[in-house]
A and B are shown apart, each in its own frame.
Chain A
Amino acid sequence: MTGVPLSYNVRSLMVRRTSTLLTVIGIGATVAVLTGILSLRQGFAQLFEASGREDIAVFMRPGATSEGESAFPRDRVDILVKSTPEIDEGPDGRPLASAETFLAVRMRKLDGGETNIPIRGVQPATFVLRGDDLEIEGERPTPGSDEVLVGRALTTRVPGARVGEVIVLNTTPFRVVGILDHGGPFASEIWGDADRMMAALERPVFNRVIARMRPGTDMEALSKRLENDKQVPAIVTTEREYLSGQTAFLSNMLLGLGAILGMVMGVGAVFAGVNTMLASVAARTHEIGVLLSIGFRPLSIFLAFVRESLLLGFLGGVIGVLITIPLDGIRTGTTNFQTFTEIAFAFRVTPGILVTAILFAMLLGLVGGAWPAWRAARMDPTEAIRHV
């Protein structure tokens, strides 16, 4: 089968520059919105899921869907830890578990307005559990003292968040002694000694317990057993599972938003593509007649136009990708509606997203081009050739 050369398509797109450009930009904008949302979702998911650890278990009160809702009085924590032999031992030979408090605290933002910052009261074991996941610039708060660590993401967003400065919680001033870096949500939190936090915030309960589990622990069985415990009922999940549960809502919302937008904007882009390709076909009616009469088969004509529309889509995809790439790393914030706290995260443009973008753009081109191409292939050569 004889094919129509590719240069034919390129030339044709060049002849109708304005049309080509407008269509390509339209497809590009569509793709950019879609990839923008996908990379937002990626950034959010990466922050939570990727940083969640498999070997750390999160204990919460049954019924709680996030740590803010969970509560354990102090004496129950001890019972819980003692009655769970699946908890691994720490370097000191004692169960490696840490009870934490968690509260979303109102704070003024540097750029005006208020936000809810997660405050976490931790026990020394938390640092052992997290180990190298945490990077601390400055000092670790001395147990029992009014000292805090501030997450890296907060330093530019709330006042008093630099080392040496003071943050007042309720009526108690806390001195900032270090900056906390973490690949996950902790970089948006303030950490202090659990007991001091309870005292300052007048909340004498822990919110959750985290612990390192012995390798091979069946978490589901454990959770089942603890849920029906008479003394301290609790539910257990791995941290990874807990964190991905926290993102499910936003993640699904973004995915849904992306799908709807991709569809609606895609419809617009496809129509623009159809119009461009119809014009391209109409303008070349005579040429098509010539090609058909010198022996090109309708299929070759069809394929030639389909290829042209794919090319159009591909160019649009490239534009979309070019718009999206600079988004990578741009930080933004939103509220995690599970805990009503603000978290900072960045757009993450992955190769997978870029490939999706190009494919989606080419799909738009294809859908827009198929029908005009079919019309071209079905032309009557004798009539087409008369058309000048």
Chain B
Amino acid sequence: MAENLIEVRGVTRVYRRGGEELVVLDGLDLQMERGSFYALMGPSGSGKTTLLNMIGGLDRPDAGDLLVAGELLNVLSNAELARWRADNVGFVFQGFNLIPVLSAVQNVELPLLLAPLSRKERRERAEYALELVGLADRGDHRPKQLSGGQEQRVAIARAFVTDPTLILADEPTGDLDRASTEQVLELLAELNEKLDKTILMVTHDPHAAESAGYIVHLEKGKLGSIERNTPAPVGAEE
């Protein structure tokens, strides 16, 4: 049994809007082990994004503890959290979230600015990451000049270029067509298998969830179930 990379203990998150209180996460407990690929599923509005953001240190719980990659996140300052994110997490978003004024390779290079690397090393690593996602020849393109699938692959390159332990992907295939979806899932699976990244991917596409080793179901702010899954070799079905 591998050690736990993520421990969510009694985490509660409440949104207040006007006088109303919306309890999104309600004393959630959850453990995830290092080196595995998790798919996080649940109906829309069930708090998947909220949970993901908290695990990634972007948001804070109202109650409970978050122990991720050996760090108790809820006691860190904003600056410490930012530092921690830079060292430990790579994000992939549904809407790609590339910086439009930068070229593909510059986008990938961006998080490396936070690492103690020379300009040359940065460039080399960014180009290598782009190569891994199959976009070596698109390095000079601006995000606008790429297709959605290509954009998402650049975003994935940006997420792992700093060699983080954990990659968090929030509906990474939500905006993509079938073919691009397959490519993205394939890439994530590869990152998990070959580079041993722990991956947590929010999705409500059951097919996408099939790539994961575990499928976590969220229900009404609580853990529904965790099922073990034998990933089908990606791209093999149909």
Q: Do chains A and B touch in the complex (CB under 8 A)?
A: no
Residues of A within 8 A of B (CB): none
